[in-house]
């Protein structure tokens, strides 16, 4: 019993330490070319292309970290880019006793998962802001963060159940 508690404590401390380290690194990286690329080109650029597909007549544009359109747009601020959710995922994958193959698969697939979910969240926020500011506030402050955290939990639990194909001995 004591061994289990110590392992759980170690995992919790490792999780918190990884989240903290990634957050500190991101604070330093935001103003770099990589940080600007992540927010302006990848996050805003992808969001603008998605809005163009859904509503081509809106005239939406990406201007720096903002999605601008007649009638209202949104600004992608610190935390809106999905990095903090990704930090939670990576920390969970590091802290949970996965093998290295499963961890790397989890990071790769999880990165796509987090980015896709965050883009859906930003799409919902864009349209909510334009049509119902009260809904925007609820989505932004309560609903979307809970959904993203539950989606990360579901991803990690699914990864836990996945068994990679093993080489067969002939």
What angle in degrees, to the nearest 10, is found between the helix axes of 144-161 and 83-95?
A: 30
Cβ atoms < 10 Å from Cβ of 142: 10
Distance CA 84, CA 26 (A): 9
- Region 1-27: mean pLDDT is 91
pLDDT above 70 covers a percentage of the chain that reads: 95
**pLDDT exceeds cutoff 70 at 167:** no
Beta bridge partners of 93: none
- Could you tell me which of 161, 148, 48 has the C-alpha nearest to residue 98? 161
Distance from C-alpha of 86 to C-alpha of 112, rounded to nearest angstrom: 10
Is residue 40 within a helix (H) or strand (E), and if so which, with residue range?
A: none
Q: What is the pLDDT of residue 162?
A: 83
Mean pLDDT of all residues belonging to the chain: 92
pLDDT at 44: 97
pLDDT digits (tens, 9 = 90+) for 115-154: 999 999 999 999 999 999 999 999 999 999 999 999 999 9
Per residue in 61-90, pLDDT (tens digit) is 999 999 999 999 999 987 889 999 999 999
Kindly state the tokens that stand for 48.
């603008």
Residue 168 pLDDT > 50: no
Contact 148, 110 (CB under 8 A): no
**pTM of the entire structure?**
0.89
């Amino acid at each position: 019993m004591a061994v289990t508690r110590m392992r759980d404590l170690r995992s919790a401390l490792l999780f918190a330490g990884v989240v903290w380290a990634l957050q500190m690194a991101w604070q330093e990286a935001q103003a770099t070319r990589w940080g600007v690329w992540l927010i302006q080109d990848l996050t805003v650029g992808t969001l603008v292309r998605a809005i163009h597909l859904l509503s081509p007549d809106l005239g939406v544009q990406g201007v720096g970290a903002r999605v601008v359109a007649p009638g209202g747009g949104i600004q992608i601020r610190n935390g809106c880019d999905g990095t903090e959710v990704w930090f939670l995922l990576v920390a969970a994958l590091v802290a949970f006793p996965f093998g290295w193959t499963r961890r790397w698969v989890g990071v790769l697939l999880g990165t796509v998962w987090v980015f896709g979910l965050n883009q859906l969240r930003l799409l919902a926020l864009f349209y909510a802001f334009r049509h119902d500011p009260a809904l925007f506030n609820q989505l932004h402050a309560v609903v979307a963060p809970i959904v993203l955290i539950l989606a990360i939990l579901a991803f990690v639990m699914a990864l836990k159940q996945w068994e990679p194909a093993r080489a067969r001995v002939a």
